[in-house]
Structure 1
Amino acid sequence: MARDEAPTTERETDSVVPWMRAPIDVCHVDSCDLDTLPFLHPRLKKALENMGITSLFPVQVAVWHETIGPGGFERDICVNSPTGSGKTLAYALPIVQMLESRAVRCIRALVVVPTRDLAEQVKKVFNTIAPAVGLSVGLAMGQSSISDEISRLIKTPKLDAGICYDPEDISQNLESAVDILVATPGRLMDHINNTKGFTLEHLRFLVVDETDRLLREAYQSWLPTVLQLTQTSDNGLFPSSIPFVPSAFGSLQTVRRQSVERGFKGKPYPRLVKMALSATLTQDPSKLIQLDLHHPLFMTTGEDRYQLPEKLECLRLICESGMKPVYLVALLKSFGGGEKCIVFTSSVETTRRLCKLLNFFDDLNIKVKEYSGGLDQKIRREELKAFIKGDSQVLVASDALTRGIDVKGVTNVINYDMPQFPKTFIHRAGRTARAGQAGRCFTLLSDHEVRRFSNKILKKVGVDSCQTHSIPPTTLDPIRTTYADALEKLKKLVELEGAKKERRGSKRKSRTGNSQSKVNKTTSET
């Protein structure tokens, strides 16, 4: 089961590592047309145009110049940029260009993300550009058949029929079937520990996407394991750290190689390049030190630690005690037909019940679906596809949907339950107003939550004003009647489900008791 966004335990600290004190401000970087982007591979340019992309966003341009441009991947890169600003393509594009196809296929780039849904989304981005230069992309994530996954990641040598082979010889000749791997940390560790032929000894790029969450939870010590495997390996397969350096940078190549070699005297060469990205990148030195960064370069948007999308409008809706569903239904009815909306709750259980309750409002006339870590991965994927296509207009979600998931055309986000932490607010709100589009984020509050929301959330994320959205009583009154009916239907459903669960539990106990009786009888007879 996918984990939802866990309450953050990261302590707020005034201590900032020195390299974060002088960041590159991405706000001062202009967007760039593909025609004027320096040194972009023609086939990658064509792949981007096929996606409808004709220019890059500022964060993508900034990362490009520090990787393919004069920066030349000489420093590790940390990016703190709002949700929807294009961080995935910002790292995918330069990595694909640098890894342009080789005769020997092996895992040279690893992207680690905290959730399966985000892993699938990141792989889709790579899939749109990597094949253009002959690269293969793999996916490793839980709740899928590991044997099927291994068959896609590891290539078994062709065997001649009728010849008896030594299993040890076969295992030694296994090869990677992918150049780039997108993985969740748990499944990554499964492959590291158990999959024959799986190796990171040739790894050149490590991307830690949604860094603050991945550093906050141990995930079977995946990070120290990966770093140990790459630090102790011999990357002799690659004689140069810069396989593609434009002729215009020829004079810089010698200087850069000398400086890198001096900085890595006695260490494997080329070095493992790391990129860390998040909309809420941690500044805690005790967390960042885990990455073992090399002369890191910090990129951010503006001076504030937390950044919301530029065209996001924040609004609050103050509700009567016990009447949040009534206000929510009134708000949903006020939106124009076809507007996509995500409603965030604080737990899987609340998500499930609220979704059922909304569907019991007979006059709502809006298709509402559930998205949470309590659902099977396949069902979640289907519900998300239906939402993207417009088959459903409202998605009631737990915080499983907050991290990095890009759903185009979401006009409104509603915090049904007030977020407990500024980071949660940032990631929820970031599901709308993406890629320069406009969007609104509503937060439903009871009277006693208003002050805390202003002081603990809005001030922390740098929102100076949050207008109060009001709903006329004449709109609310008719909904109160239908709410009573819907609530009664929900209560009956919950009671029915509880009774079924209790019966299933009784049957399991009965079977267990019968089995134990047989064991006792056999034991006594013996």
Structure 2
Amino acid sequence: MEDSQAKRVPHLPWMRNPVDINLYEECPFGLLPCLDPRLEEALQKIGIQSLFPVQVAVWQETIGPGAFERDICVNSPTGSGKTLAYALPIVQMLSTRKIRCLRALVVLPTRDLAVQVKEVFATIASAVGLRVGLAVGQSSLADEISELIRRPKLEMCSSFDPDDIQMEPQTSVDILVATPGRLMDHINTTKGFSLEHLCYLVVDETDRLLREAYQSWLPTVIQLTCSNDQALFDHARLGPSISGSLATIRRSGVERGFKGKSYPRLVKMILSATLTQDPSKLSQLDLHHPLLLTSGERRYKLPEKLECYKLICISKLKPLYLVALLQDLRGEKCIVFTSSVESTHRLCTLLNFFGDLPCKISEYSRRQHQSLRSKTLKTFRKGKIEVLVATDAMTRGMDVEGIRNVINYDMPAYVKTYIHRAGRTARAGQTGRCFTLLRKDETKRFSKMLQKINNNSCNLHSLPADSIEELRPIYSSALKKLKGCVESETARKSGISAKSVKSSDRKKGKDRMKE
């Protein structure tokens, strides 16, 4: 019996008759209308010879007959190629006007995902002379400002138009990929950072970005762009006699590139593998005649070539089932997901106390500094680490080539989490497997979760009983080492805290002496 949620008709009329992405087929570049030859060459250099269905569908609705007349909403499985689906048409459109200002903004929930998307844009944007910036907080605000903002020099000449003089700093990138927090830092404090020329706004991983406030970044961006559009309308309607700030809007030399042309409205593109249907959330985006592109009728969908398995575990011996499974997988690239930062750290530490595992294991969580996470991810991409023990910070959009298996050490609490975790494998038409370790009391809840995605093909995966028993002596030793490690870390943290308290007390004492 199908889940009632799958049957539910969306409240918003525009979501009831979507464009079915499955009607499109993979398309070689030679059959793709209007593609700039420079972009084709850039894609071929990185081994891409054709576009996936979601990329073809978005191209047809933006560069093809659709021509960005409507805002685009994409609900497509993880690994289907959504990043290039929006990057390619945006770069193509921006390349037609040689104006150096911020015209496309892409917002993502995490730093690592933003870095990944920036690399996709940079690969193709440079081929047509566009610059891509990154604002995620990996470097200091001052360093980011030096990359994003240029400070024009005043050149003396015999005759000049005062309206053309550029004394104010201006953005030096055409496309900016950002996380919400750092985006707001630049909006609020960076001189010369402006969204007044913005043509495209991409909200990737939309459901997560709408769920979390992130300093009210979305209403701020919408308000800034809408007020600019209204100012432009008023200026065109009232003419040069208009007084105040409207009379001086858009006076820098940048605007000369738009002279005599109607300034385009802000086009929004929203994307997710689990796009929300909640009208109150979607209304925040202020969408213009939105068009929904989706893969099939069901809201939740797994990658086509994904194989799903469940392992029923004795609760106290659960780590042994994981170790036995890793031994069975013989060094294949895997991500092991846990339910929390603390669980990730402890499990990774425990696994590294097992001596003879056929793989190198590392941790990936918010417990680590950003630079260490980035280094770990880079090493994992290169294959020098075979197993990454991670929190759900790794679930959203991260694309690492060659991940053969996803292992849910802790059962995900929500179906969306399961979809995003499983979507780290079987990407871009490749095969992959997802294993979920379950206690007996979790099996019924897990089955109900799978019904929401109409997945009745989750097979039972069994391990030989003797493979578990053989690990018991090593497990006892590893647990003792883990206990000692945790005690040592706790003592070290306590020592740091004590030092901080003593330092604070000494400072207070000195302050009292000064009074």
Give the alignment's TM-score, normalised by structure 1: 0.87
Alignment of 1:233-382 (within 5 A): 233=228, 269-337=263-331, 339-382=332-375
Q: Which residue of 1 aligns with 2:201?
A: 206
Q: Structure 1 regions of 5+ residues with no counterpart?
A: 1-11, 161-168, 239-267
Which one of 484, 493, 501 corresponds to residue 485 of structure 2? Answer: 493
CA, structure 1 residues 327+319, in 2 after alignment: closer, same or farther (shift >3 Å)? same
Given that 1:13 and 1:284 are in contact with CA atoms closer than 8 Å, whether structure 2 keeps it comes out as: no
Given that 2:10 and 2:16 are in contact with CA atoms closer than 8 Å, whether structure 1 keeps it comes out as: no
Q: Note if 1:111 corresponds to 2:111.
A: no
Given that 1:80 and 1:278 are in contact with CA atoms closer than 8 Å, whether structure 2 keeps it comes out as: yes
**Post-superposition CA distance 1:278-314 (Å, at most 9, x none):** 0000011111111111111001001111010000011
Q: Secondary structure at the match of 1:342?
A: strand
Q: Secondary structure at the match of 1:445?
A: strand
**Post-superposition CA distance 1:385-440 (Å, at most 9, x none):** 11111111100000110000000100000000100001000000000000000000
In 2: Cα distance, 1:110 partner to 1:102 partner: 17
Q: Note if 1:508 corresponds to 2:500.
A: yes
Q: Which residue of 2 aligns with 1:86?
A: 81
**Post-superposition CA distance 1:156-199 (Å, at most 9, x none):** 12479xxxxxxxx9994312110000000110010001000000
Alignment of 1:154-165 (within 5 A): 154-158=149-153
In 1: Cα distance, 2:168 partner to 2:445 partner: 61
Q: CA deviation at 1:323?
A: 1.0
In 2: Cα distance, 1:402 partner to 1:80 partner: 16
Given that 1:19 and 1:296 are in contact with CA atoms closer than 8 Å, whether structure 2 keeps it comes out as: yes
Q: CA deviation at 1:517?
A: 2.9
In 1: Cα distance, 2:506 partner to 2:149 partner: 46
**Post-superposition CA distance 1:52-93 (Å, at most 9, x none):** 111100000000000000011101010000000000000000
Equivalent position amino acid for 1:498 in 2: T
Given that 1:202 and 1:237 are in contact with CA atoms closer than 8 Å, whether structure 2 keeps it comes out as: no
Q: Which residue of 1 aligns with 2:410?
A: 417
**Post-superposition CA distance 1:217-272 (Å, at most 9, x none):** 1111111111111111159999xxxxxxxxxxxxxxxxxxxxxxxxxxxxx94211
Paired residues in the alignment total 473
In 1: Cα distance, 2:220 partner to 2:436 partner: 41
Q: Which residue of 1 aligns with 2:470?
A: 478
Q: CA deviation at 1:122?
A: 0.4
Which one of 44, 54, 58 corresponds to residue 53 of structure 2? Answer: 58
In 2: Cα distance, 1:464 partner to 1:425 partner: 15
Given that 2:330 and 2:359 are in contact with CA atoms closer than 8 Å, whether structure 1 keeps it comes out as: no
In 2: Cα distance, 1:389 partner to 1:269 partner: 45
In 2: Cα distance, 1:370 partner to 1:380 partner: 8
Given that 1:413 and 1:428 are in contact with CA atoms closer than 8 Å, whether structure 2 keeps it comes out as: yes
Q: Which residue of 1 aligns with 2:62?
A: 67
Alignment of 1:114-129 (within 5 A): 114-129=109-124
Given that 1:399 and 1:428 are in contact with CA atoms closer than 8 Å, whether structure 2 keeps it comes out as: yes
Equivalent position amino acid for 2:183 in 1: L
Q: Secondary structure at the match of 1:232?
A: helix
Given that 1:411 and 1:433 are in contact with CA atoms closer than 8 Å, whether structure 2 keeps it comes out as: yes
Alignment of 1:174-193 (within 5 A): 174-193=169-188
Q: Secondary structure at the match of 2:304?
A: coil
Given that 1:89 and 1:125 are in contact with CA atoms closer than 8 Å, whether structure 2 keeps it comes out as: yes
In 2: Cα distance, 1:293 partner to 1:382 partner: 38
Q: Please give the root-mean-square deviation of Cα atoms over the aligned residues, in Å.
A: 2.0
**Post-superposition CA distance 1:125-166 (Å, at most 9, x none):** 001100111100000012421101000000112479xxxxxx
Q: Structure 2 regions of 5+ residues with no counterpart?
A: 1-6, 156-163, 234-261
Which one of 18, 24, 38 corresponds to residue 19 of structure 2? Answer: 24
Give the alignment's TM-score, normalised by structure 2: 0.89
Given that 1:116 and 1:141 are in contact with CA atoms closer than 8 Å, whether structure 2 keeps it comes out as: yes
Q: Which residue of 1 aligns with 2:143?
A: 148
Given that 1:343 and 1:416 are in contact with CA atoms closer than 8 Å, whether structure 2 keeps it comes out as: yes
Q: Note if 1:517 corresponds to 2:512.
A: no
Alignment of 1:392-431 (within 5 A): 392-431=385-424
**Post-superposition CA distance 1:442-493 (Å, at most 9, x none):** 00011111111111x2112221231110011111111111111111100001
Q: Which residue of 2 aligns with 1:435?
A: 428
Given that 1:44 and 1:133 are in contact with CA atoms closer than 8 Å, whether structure 2 keeps it comes out as: yes
CA, structure 1 residues 45+501, in 2 after alignment: closer, same or farther (shift >3 Å)? same
Q: Note if 1:385 corresponds to 2:383.
A: no
In 1: Cα distance, 2:351 partner to 2:452 partner: 32
In 1: Cα distance, 2:143 partner to 2:505 partner: 38
In 2: Cα distance, 1:229 partner to 1:365 partner: 54
Given that 1:320 and 1:446 are in contact with CA atoms closer than 8 Å, whether structure 2 keeps it comes out as: yes
Q: Which residue of 2 aligns with 1:463?
A: 455
Given that 1:112 and 1:209 are in contact with CA atoms closer than 8 Å, whether structure 2 keeps it comes out as: yes
Which one of 211, 216, 219 corresponds to residue 221 of structure 1? Answer: 216
In 2: Cα distance, 1:311 partner to 1:282 partner: 24
In 2: Cα distance, 1:295 partner to 1:56 partner: 26
